[in-house]
Amino acid sequence: MPPAPARVGDALADVDTPALILDLDKFESNLRQMINTTRAAGVRVRPHAKSHKCVAIARRQVAAGAVGVCCQKVSEAEVFVAEGIADVLITNEVVGEQKLYRLAELARRYPNARIGVCVDDVGIARQIGAICQKEDARLDVYVELDVGQNRCGVIDASSAVAIAKAVVASPKLTFMGLHAYAGSAQHRRGVPERRSAVLAAARKADEVRAAFRASDIPCEVITGGGTGTFAYEAASGVYNEVQPGSFALMDVDYARNEPDPNAPRFEHALFVLATVMSLRSAEGNERATLDAGLKAFSTDSGPALPTFPGWQVRSVSDEHTVLHRTGHGPQVKLGDKALLIPGHCDPTVNLHDWIVAIRKGVVEAVWPVDARGAVF
């Protein structure tokens, strides 16, 4: 693991580059807004740890009032449970004996932790039940309902009921309810589009809950919602838990959503710090090349963008970003450092081993990205 790019007390300008920077004032403001909004709506918040992959951040989220965190992978859950986050929901299917035994082993080793997992296949539900029985491990199980993401999840109430019955029949499993994440709604730009997608998702979840009730299956939790829509899930009267992740950090893509005046506005707290490593100053063709590229930020939602005006991203390659000055940008010189806002926070964080947490320009902490690379 590469050594940390900064020490506590360093000035931002002394941090080695490229480095992942977290502005603590902004991060704390984002967290406060999330806690206040969900508390006022009377729903639980379980922030998604796939965005930050950082135990220090998860601890702050739980200390502020989150019920626990979400993960996407067994190997992520292992990291957070081992570090004392005692309530972790894997908002994803886990398939294959190898991974299921690993999950059961985690639950067996930490009997006081609540560990949940999603299922969208009745055969897998039975297999999890059998493995947990054999391993003497207890798991919470949620049915994933596809509410428009077109990725995983069952699409009809009868499949959901069949899975729930298989879960209820397994003595080591606790059936908890529905995971109904409207993923494709998160980045619809208009407020009405996001809101109506969530209303449709909530209606569908409510129908499935009614089918559970008709089969005498209690459905304690309906969980879902991301940074783009959580306020609508919270207000739906159907969801009682929301799972936003990116709100803690933010990125260019989420900031492109039309803001809802009745929902919190989260600020950019996450940046990539880069150094100007090559410069060309010919009049009318000023070019600054930064020492951060595809290995320092993900470009699936566009490149990381400079925080200062008048410079545009011309190209991104593995280790470089080339900026061009449009005429009104500030002059830069070799060795200058620049903050960039990542296009998409989750895969950007996963590229880094360290988060350099700063406050008012000074390094306050350097946190490992504990679950970096935990893809299994």
Q: Which stretch binds a copy of itself (CB under 8 A): 21-29, 106-114, 260-268, 351-359?
A: 351-359
Does residue 147 contact residue 224 with C-beta atoms inside 8 Å?
yes
Contact call for residue 320 and a copy of itself (CB under 8 A): yes
The binding track of 70-89 with respect to a copy of itself, each residue x by CB under 8 A or -, is --xx-x--------------
Residue of 36, 158, 307, 315 interacting with a copy of itself (CB under 8 A): 315
Q: Which stretch binds a copy of itself (CB under 8 A): 128-136, 248-256, 305-313, 347-355?
A: 347-355
User: Hey, what are 205's tokens?
Assistant: 């979840």
Q: Rule CB under 8 A: which of 182-221 touch a copy of itself?
A: 183
Q: Which stretch binds a copy of itself (CB under 8 A): 15-23, 36-44, 170-178, 262-270?
A: 15-23
Nearer CB in complex with a copy of itself: 62/124: 124
Q: Rule CB under 8 A: which of 98-117 touch a copy of itself?
A: 98-99
Task: Give how many residues touch a copy of itself by CB under 8 A.
Answer: 66
Contact call for residue 47 and a copy of itself (CB under 8 A): no
Contact call for residue 59 and a copy of itself (CB under 8 A): no
Nearer CB in complex with a copy of itself: 35/294: 294
Q: Is the dihedral of CA 232, 220, 165, 91 positive or negative?
A: positive
Three-state SS letters, the chain:
CCCCCCCCCCEHHHCCCCEEEEEHHHHHHHHHHHHHHHHHHCCEECCECCCCCCHHHHHHHHHHCCCCEEECCHHHHHHHHHCCCCEEEEEEECCCHHHHHHHHHHHHHCCCCEEEEEECCHHHHHHHHHHHHHHCCCEEEEEEECCCCCCCCECCHHHHHHHHHHHHCCCCEEEEEEECCCHHHCCCCCHHHHHHHHHHHHHHHHHHHHHHHHCCCCCCEEEECCCCCHHHHHCCCCCCEECCCHHHCCCHHHHCCCCCCCCCCCCCCEEEEEEEEEEECCCCCCEEEECCCCCCCCCECECCEECCCCEEEEEECCCCEEEEECCCCCCCCCCCEEEEECCCHHHHHCCCCEEEEEECCEEEEEEECCCCCCCC
Does residue 161 contact residue 209 with C-beta atoms inside 8 Å?
no
Nearer CB in complex with a copy of itself: 57/235: 57
* Distance of closest approach, residue 287 Cβ to a copy of itself, in angstroms: 7
Residue of 35, 319, 329, 365 interacting with a copy of itself (CB under 8 A): 319
Does residue 41 contact residue 235 with C-beta atoms inside 8 Å?
yes
* Distance of closest approach, residue 276 Cβ to a copy of itself, in angstroms: 7
Nearer CB in complex with a copy of itself: 220/300: 300
- Count the neighbouring beta carbons within 10 Å of the beta carbon of residue 101: 16
Among all chains, which residue has been given the structure tokens 């054999």?
Answer: 134
Residue of 11, 155, 169, 210 interacting with a copy of itself (CB under 8 A): 155
Residue of 151, 189, 213, 256 interacting with a copy of itself (CB under 8 A): 151
* Distance of closest approach, residue 216 Cβ to a copy of itself, in angstroms: 28
Chain centroid to Cα 289, Å, comes to 30
Q: Which stretch binds a copy of itself (CB under 8 A): 172-180, 232-240, 260-268, 313-321?
A: 313-321
Residue of 36, 158, 307, 317 interacting with a copy of itself (CB under 8 A): 317
Q: Rule CB under 8 A: which of 249-308 touch a copy of itself?
A: 275-280, 287, 289, 291-292, 294-296, 298-300
Site residues for a copy of itself per CB under 8 A = 1-2, 5, 14, 16-18, 50, 72-73, 75, 92-96, 98-99, 120-121, 123-124, 150-153, 155, 183, 275-280, 287, 289, 291-292, 294-296, 298-300, 314-320, 322, 334-335, 344, 346-347, 350-353, 372-376
